[in-house]
Structure 1
Amino acid sequence: MSLKRDNKAEKREVTSIRNDYVRSVEVEGERKKAHRVRLFRRLTVFGLLVLMTTIWVGSTIYAQTQTISEKEQLREETLLKLEEVEKQQSQLGEQILLLNDEEYLAKLARKDYFLSDEGEIIFTTPHDEKKDEENSTKEE
């Protein structure tokens, strides 16, 4: 243990030399340390900018993806409605053609309004409403 004490005592008694070379080495060391600090700060700021830009681009892409999916769903719903309207339009077109036919009109008037031809007698019989609905859907 006495050796350790002697080494400590020797270290305390040694003074550093203050000449131009030592000062220039110390200044160079401080300059490199300051350069590292500035470099670290610049890299940190640059990293934060890259991170913020990445987050902004990611959120924009996500929002656009959501908007596109919503519009695609709306498009599909609209196409289904269009198909229904086109079917209805074709049925109405067929009905217009039928209503332009005088024989069909006469048959329809006899059925719905109980009209008759000359010498024809109309007999009404009791029947279920369900059968009427089934007959009307078959005729259409």
Structure 2
Amino acid sequence: MEEKEEKVTKLSSKSANQYDAYIERQNRKKQRLTRRLVMYAIVVAVIVGSMSIYHFNQRALKAEKMEEYEQLEQELADLNQQETDLNNEIENLKDEEYVLEIARTNYFFSNEGELIFKLPDEAPSY
């Protein structure tokens, strides 16, 4: 079915013109309010986005620094252990018996009347 078009003519009266002006002002107010809210929303989104990016960059930097810290702590522990071992070695080297034992094992020095036989470290191939 066909819809009928209704033609309504508008009366031009002072009160109708005032009402139309009032409606137009209200529409402009709504439009300005919408624009302001959109602008504020964009500003807030930019601020939150930049703060989020900064936060995640700082977290990544902290994780990197913590990893480096743990690595340096491990290195420090290794160096302390090495220092302890070297101090023990120094104390042992002050003992004449220890030095003579090292000379016998590493440099094949012998006591008087002692014979040294060097045995091969490898197992025979036969």
- Normalising by the smaller structure, the TM-score range is 0.7 to 0.9
RMSD: 2.4
Question: Given the two structures, how large is their TM-score scaled by the length of structure 2?
Answer: 0.80
Query: Aligned partners of 2:121, 2:49: CA distance in 1, in Å?
Result: 66
**Is residue 108–residue 116 contact of structure 2 (8 Å, CA) maintained in 1?**
no
Q: Which runs of no fewer than 5 residues in structure 1 stay unpaired?
A: 131-140
The equivalent of 1:28 in structure 2 is: 22
Alignment map for 1:7-46 (pairs within 5 Å): 8=6, 11-12=7-8, 15-46=9-40
Greater percentage in helix: 1
The equivalent of 2:119 in structure 1 is: 127
Change (3 A) 1:113 1:16: closer
Deviation for aligned residue 1:83: 1.5
Query: Aligned partners of 1:82, 1:128: CA distance in 2, in Å?
Result: 39
Structure 1 position 49 matched with structure 2 position 43:
yes
The amino acid that maps onto 2:45 is L
The amino acid that maps onto 2:26 is K
User: Which contiguous aligned blocks of 4+ residues in structure 1 show a shift greater than 4 angstroms?
Assistant: none
Identity %: 25
Change (3 A) 1:110 1:101: same
Alignment map for 1:1-140 (pairs within 5 Å): 8=6, 11-12=7-8, 15-117=9-111, 120-129=112-121
Change (3 A) 1:41 1:28: same
Question: Given the two structures, how large is their TM-score scaled by the length of structure 1?
Answer: 0.73
Higher mean C-alpha deviation, range 91-100 or range 79-88: 79-88
Q: Which has the larger radius of gyration?
A: 1
Query: Aligned partners of 1:95, 1:49: CA distance in 2, in Å?
Result: 68
The amino acid that maps onto 2:119 is H
Task: Report the number of matched residues.
Answer: 121
The equivalent of 1:138 in structure 2 is: none
Query: Aligned partners of 1:106, 1:125: CA distance in 2, in Å?
Result: 17
Structure 1 counterpart SS, 2:11: coil
Query: Aligned partners of 1:87, 1:128: CA distance in 2, in Å?
Result: 33
